[in-house]
Amino acid sequence: MGGEQPAQPSRPGVGYGALASLGWLYLVQGIPYGLQDKFLPVQLRSLGLNYSSVSLLKLLLVPWIAKGVWAPLVEVCGGKQCWLLIATLGLGASSLAGSAIAPDDVASLGVMLLSLNLCSAVQDVAVDGLALHLLPDDHLSIGNTLQVVLYKVGCLVGGAGLTYLLMCSNWTITFTSLAAVYMTTAAWVCCLSFKDPFSSKCSSEDKGMKNTDLLSKKENKEQFLAKEKTSQGQLDILMVERIFSIMREVVSSSGAVWVSLYVLLYKMGERGAINNMPLYLLDKGFSKESLAFWNGTVCQGLSVLGSVYGGVALRKPHYCIKTVILRYSCHRFILILTQCILIFLLEQHLSASYIYTLQYMSIASLCLLSFNSGVISTVTFTFMMVKSRECSPESQASHYSVLASVEVAGKLIFASLAGFVIDNYGILWSFSLFAFLCLLPIIVIYAAPCYLYSDLKRE
């Protein structure tokens, strides 16, 4: 890599209790995304909402783009456990408010989704920071497999799980149950005992200074109050300096431009296809119940399985991150080209039996694409974590959060516009564009300088 890296403190092995805690936090964090990605689009499309309006809901993921802005604040102020508690309580309150919303009140649903996304994005910064601190170097691929898999299990709960619960009960019970999950998690967060050495360094020093002042019997009350104000001012200045220092290191880190470009592009075409193929099949006569099973359950399950396999693949001695990314990125391109062909055939005037066959071939391509997506996600998040670990310990969570924000921005920007492209240019041309976008991350990986992968042979 360019220049010597700062010495990293050794990390002890991580226990099963810590892994279980991280896993549960990632799971509940994924529920809002499943709600927005799988549950609501099918509900709203079945009510007659067009592609453009459904796509615009993706803009409500904007807090995930901005999380790199407040990541240094989470690092410096308050401690991660405090932020976790606040965010989880916010998720519970937002879900409870959602139970009082009418299913066809799009504006109120949008406010609820924005609140859920804001709280889950804050939670994500804190949990990622804990993961970076807890996971030893030889557990990065396992840790990221846990992260991606359980986040997707949360998406499965938020998508298919809530759909099935809604079918068996009603809207109020569905969202009240979700609120109960978050409130229970908030109570559990209070009992966690993660040690975070970076969250209150300044405050500890400041407390030491205050204790010294209190023990000094030579100073009168006015002198003590004056010192108290000076000490607080020094603490505020120190905190601001630390925040700007973290931001400078994140921006100037090795390979930042190339890594950011890749994570910006790598999901664009894939998300366009995965989000809109189920809606297209709904238009072609596929029932909501069948889509809930295939898209909400089977595809999400295969995505989880792909994420597990991605972590296993990185443990193989002859595999490296670059190899796995290129292989499965090529597979993804072929699958979306196949979907273009299937859409072309479905647009022809065909017999009912032929359309039925093509529909299930489309479902098969969507299932394979979901598995492929899971593999690429795990490998990419491991890549991001490896690059973040090259920063100083205090900046790692912020570096990772910035990359994750760029990743969400890539998905969000195009996913929000994909509906307009479909409404204005047709489904076939739109999927052709999705296929082209899948070529771009392959080009970036090939064009990136070799030093970017020099330490990625096996993590």
Q: Are 74 and 207 within one domain?
A: no
CB 411 within 8 A of CB 245: no
Decide which of 190, 223, 252 is a domain's last residue. 252
Q: Are 409 and 316 within one domain?
A: yes
Q: Are 224 and 282 within one domain?
A: no
CATH of the domain at 37: 1.20.1250.20
Confidence class for position 454, pLDDT limits 50, 70, 90: low
* pLDDT value of residue 245: 64
For residue 112, CA distances in Å to 98, 180, 233 come to 6, 16, 38
Q: Are 189 and 218 within one domain?
A: no
The total of other beta-carbon atoms located within 10 Å of residue 237's CB is 10
Interacting residues of 24 by C-beta distance below 8 A, sequence separation 6+: 150, 185, 188
Decide which of 214, 230, 252 is a domain's last residue. 252
Query: Three-state SS string across the chain, please?
Result: CCCCCCCCCCCCCCCHHHHHHHHHHHHHHHHHHHHHHHHHHHHHHHCCCCHHHHHHHHHHHHHHHHHHHHHHHHHHCCCHHHHHHHHHHHHHHHHHHHCCCCCCCHHHHHHHHHHHHHHHHHHHHHHHHHHHHHCCHHHHHHHHHHHHHHHHHHHHHHHHHHHHHHHHCCHHHHHHHHHHHHHHHHHHHCCCCCCCCCCCHHHHHHHHHHHHHHHCCCCCHHHHHHHHHHHHHHHHHHHHHHHHHHHHHHHHCCCHHHHHHHHHHCCHHHHHHHHHHHHHHHHCCCCHHHHHHHHHHHHHHHHHHHHHHHHHHHCCCCCCHHHHHHHHHHHHHHHHHHHHHHHHHHCCCCCHHHHHHHHHHHHHHHHHHHHHHHHHHHHHHHHHHHHHCCCCHHHHHHHHHHHHHHHHHHHHHHHHHHHHHHHHHCHHHHHHHHHHHHHHHHHHHHHCCHHHHCCCCCC
| Residue 435 pLDDT greater than 50, yes or no | yes
In a domain, 459, yes or no: no
Closest Cα to residue 159, out of 293, 320, 331? Answer: 293
Higher pLDDT pick, 341 / 35: 341
| Residue 183 pLDDT greater than 90, yes or no | yes
* pLDDT value of residue 295: 82
Confidence class for position 5, pLDDT limits 50, 70, 90: very low
Owner of token pair 């601001």 = 240
* pLDDT value of residue 218: 44
| Residue 211 pLDDT greater than 50, yes or no | no
Confidence class for position 162, pLDDT limits 50, 70, 90: confident
**Average pLDDT over the chain, rounded to whole?**
77
Residue type, 448: A
* pLDDT value of residue 337: 95
* pLDDT value of residue 210: 44
Range of 345's domain?
16-199+253-453
Decide which of 214, 231, 252 is a domain's last residue. 252
In a domain, 7, yes or no: no
Q: Quote the radius of gyration of the chain (alpha carbons, Å).
A: 24
**The token pair that represents 171 in the structure block:** 């809207």
Interacting residues of 432 by C-beta distance below 8 A, sequence separation 6+: 340
In a domain, 11, yes or no: no
Q: Are 205 and 189 within one domain?
A: no
| Residue 408 pLDDT greater than 70, yes or no | yes
| 64-78, 138-152, 221-235, range with the lowest pLDDT | 221-235
pLDDT digits (tens, 9 = 90+) for 309-358: 888 877 776 667 888 889 999 999 999 999 999 999 988 877 778 888 89
Number of domains within the chain: 2
Rounded Cα distance between 366 and 368, Å, is: 6
Higher pLDDT pick, 443 / 318: 443
| 212-221, 267-276, 358-367, 415-424, range with the lowest pLDDT | 212-221
In a domain, 132, yes or no: yes
For residues 359-374, average pLDDT: 93
Q: Are 206 and 103 within one domain?
A: no
| Residue 437 pLDDT greater than 70, yes or no | yes
* pLDDT value of residue 182: 92
Q: Are 287 and 405 within one domain?
A: yes
Percent of the chain with pLDDT over 70: 75
pLDDT digits (tens, 9 = 90+) for 247-291: 666 666 767 788 888 988 998 889 889 988 988 888 888 887 788
In a domain, 2, yes or no: no
Higher pLDDT pick, 455 / 87: 87
For residues 220-228, average pLDDT: 48
* pLDDT value of residue 353: 81
Check the CA dihedral 197-203-208-214 and report its sign.
negative
Confidence class for position 370, pLDDT limits 50, 70, 90: very high
Confidence class for position 137, pLDDT limits 50, 70, 90: low
Q: Are 285 and 215 within one domain?
A: no
Terminal CA-CA length for the chain: 16
CB 148 within 8 A of CB 378: yes
In a domain, 86, yes or no: yes
In a domain, 384, yes or no: yes
Q: Are 183 and 233 within one domain?
A: no
Rounded Cα distance between 282 and 359, Å, is: 10
In a domain, 1, yes or no: no
**The token pair that represents 259 in the structure block:** 């890594």
Q: Are 355 and 391 within one domain?
A: yes
Percent of the chain with pLDDT over 90: 17
Q: Are 235 and 187 within one domain?
A: no
Higher pLDDT pick, 425 / 18: 425
Q: Are 238 and 97 within one domain?
A: no
